[in-house]
């Protein structure tokens, strides 16, 4: 059906409207005729805006959708704007919709199709900008050869500008500790809750699959391992402590070949508590670890705190394949489960956190001093690596989890400053007992259950600066290592450069 039009009226009207407004304002053929049927696209006045003599336009209006791309490439900017609107109507006329189109339906459907096409183009452009993202189906390189899909062994762009490495999952194995050796030629070790160990190359940040050390399968009558802490006691030895399992301590031996996992049969902490009433109860084994320098004979040493309320000094001897352990109790015995430990090499002082107190004594002291009362229960304790007069505590607090103490005055006088971050309430609590941060120079880094990584600069007491990054997974351990900060938790290790903060 042909539509009568007044050219003079149309020219005056179109001169006062934008191109898109002119397109939306023009009535369709079915509005002029009053019929409620399919549009007759060849006679629609939407096409009057386009150059009618263009053969590509006529093919488009007759439903030949394959001509759209060719026409849009050769069309002007104004023509493209109108053609995107017309393509929606033409698609419906070509049979993509099995119901009659009304004017109000065509407007909304065409807008939706234009938006979907635009989103698809943006998605394709985004994938080309990020070639490491996983795509569905085979991909082709510039030469036409197939490009292998990314695997978990490769570092991929992470959240907030970081680079993430995904580790293999294991049954009932949450992330526990990330140990970064001082020697850059040795791999980073990620220790799971059940004792699994995965390794990452420090240079390429790639997961080393052939180094993987999965935990043994659960056996009836044998308690499963439960990791509470892990520390590096020398350049090539990592000690792992358990509060349950076949042993209380095991060693992870790094070297030029594949890492080895060796159990130490010695048990230092009692696991049975005898009560005055004559009854007994099960007691957790190790609850905290701290590394010590090797002794004069080159033997590896470390401290352990236990659920039995004692602190013990361990010495490892023998070949790597058959390590023998021995331990002696220290006078520093809080009598309550020890939550955290730290050793200060400058004077041999040991710091132990328990309940709402911190006790301090020399490693060879005959008796311990009076414990200092804190405002919140300590969860982790750090001796500043550059200034041993500074001790930092991570405490059980909703908002201020980090407290800094100046040991030139008594611990009872309280911290000189404190700060923290309130995590999202739906996530794991900020005071998670296994969560641990790291300090270096004037920076302190700590992760949270909502995936936030916070880095504070506390050089100015009255204005502590906070920078944060976020990822999807919770963070249980954050490590400051040179010019980068590394976050670990939930089978993922994320690297951020401090220059990006």
What is the rounded CA–CA span in Å between residue 501 and residue 495?
12
Confidence at residue 108, expressed as pLDDT on a 0 to 100 scale: 46
Backbone region of residue 45 per phi and psi (left: phi > 0; alpha: psi in -120 to 50; beta: other values): alpha
What is the rounded CA–CA span in Å between residue 360 and residue 410?
11
Confidence at residue 273, expressed as pLDDT on a 0 to 100 scale: 72
Confidence at residue 501, expressed as pLDDT on a 0 to 100 scale: 73
Confidence at residue 40, expressed as pLDDT on a 0 to 100 scale: 43
Could you tell me which residues are beta bridge partners of residue 452? 470
What is the rounded CA–CA span in Å between residue 180 and residue 486?
9
Burial class (CB in 10 A: 0-12, 13-18, 19+), 471: buried
Q: Checking DSSP bridges between strand 163-166 and strand 443-447, what pairing results, if any?
A: unpaired
Q: Nearest CA to 171 among 211, 112, 225? A: 225
Q: What is the mean pLDDT of each run of 10 residues along the chain (501 residues)?
A: 50 48 46 43 45 50 53 59 57 44 46 53 46 38 36 54 90 91 94 95 94 87 89 94 93 88 91 75 88 85 93 89 89 90 95 95 90 94 96 94 94 93 69 89 94 93 87 93 94 92 73
Confidence at residue 160, expressed as pLDDT on a 0 to 100 scale: 66
DSSP code per residue over 340-388: EEEEETTTTEEEEEETTEEEEEETT-SS--PPEE-SS-EEEEEE-SS-T
> Hey, where are the domains in the chain?
7-125
């Amino acid at each position: 059906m042909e539509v009568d039009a007044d050219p003079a009226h149309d020219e005056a009207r179109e001169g006062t409207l934008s191109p898109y407004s002119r397109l939306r304002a023009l009535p369709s053929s079915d509005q002029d005729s009053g019929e409620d049927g399919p549009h007759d696209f060849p006679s629609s006045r939407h096409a009057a805006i386009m150059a009618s003599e263009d053969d590509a336009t006529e093919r488009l209006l007759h439903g030949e959708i394959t001509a759209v791309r060719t026409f849009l490439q050769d069309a002007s900017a104004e023509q493209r704007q109108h053609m995107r609107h017309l393509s929606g109507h033409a698609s419906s006329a070509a049979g993509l919709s099995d119901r009659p189109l009304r004017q109000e339906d065509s407007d909304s459907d065409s807008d939706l199709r234009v938006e979907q096409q635009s989103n698809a183009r943006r998605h394709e452009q985004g994938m080309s900008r990020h070639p490491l993202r996983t795509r569905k189906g085979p991909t082709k390189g510039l030469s036409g050869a197939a490009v292998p899909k990314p695997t978990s062994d490769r570092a991929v762009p992470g959240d907030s500008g970081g680079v993430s490495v995904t580790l293999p999952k294991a049954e009932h194995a949450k992330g526990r500790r990330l140990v970064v050796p001082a020697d850059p030629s040795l791999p980073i070790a990620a220790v799971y809750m059940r004792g699994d160990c995965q390794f990452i190359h420090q240079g390429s940040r790639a997961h080393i699959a052939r180094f993987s050390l999965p935990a043994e399968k659960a056996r009836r009558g044998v308690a499963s391992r439960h990791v509470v802490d892990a520390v590096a006691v020398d350049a090539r030895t990592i000690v792992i402590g358990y509060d349950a399992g076949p042993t209380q301590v095991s060693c992870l031996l790094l070297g030029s070949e594949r890492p080895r996992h060796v159990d130490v049969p010695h048990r230092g902490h009692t696991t049975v508590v005898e009560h005055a009433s004559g009854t007994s109860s099960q007691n957790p084994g190790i609850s905290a670890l701290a590394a010590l320098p090797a002794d004069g004979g080159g033997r590896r040493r470390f401290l352990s705190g236990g659920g039995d309320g004692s602190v013990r000094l361990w010495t490892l001897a023998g070949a790597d394949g058959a390590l023998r352990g021995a331990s002696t109790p220290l006078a520093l015995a809080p009598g309550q489960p020890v939550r955290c430990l730290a050793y200060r090499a400058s004077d041999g002082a040991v710091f132990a956190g328990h309940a709402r107190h911190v006790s301090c004594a020399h490693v060879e002291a005959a008796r311990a001093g009076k414990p200092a009362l804190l405002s919140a229960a300590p969860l982790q304790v750090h001796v500043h690596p550059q200034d041993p007069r500074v001790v930092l505590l991570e405490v059980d607090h909703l908002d201020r989890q980090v407290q800094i103490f100046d040991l030139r005055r008594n611990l009872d006088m309280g911290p000189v400053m404190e700060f923290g971050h309130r995590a999202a309430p739906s996530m794991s609590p900020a005071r998670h007992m296994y969560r641990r941060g790291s300090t270096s120079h004037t920076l302190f880094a700590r992760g949270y259950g909502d995936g936030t990584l916070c880095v504070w600069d506390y050089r100015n007491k009255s204005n502590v600066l906070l920078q944060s990054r976020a990822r999807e997974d919770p963070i249980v351990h954050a490590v400051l290592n040179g010019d980068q900060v590394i976050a670990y938790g939930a089978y993922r290790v994320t690297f951020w450069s401090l220059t990006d903060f």
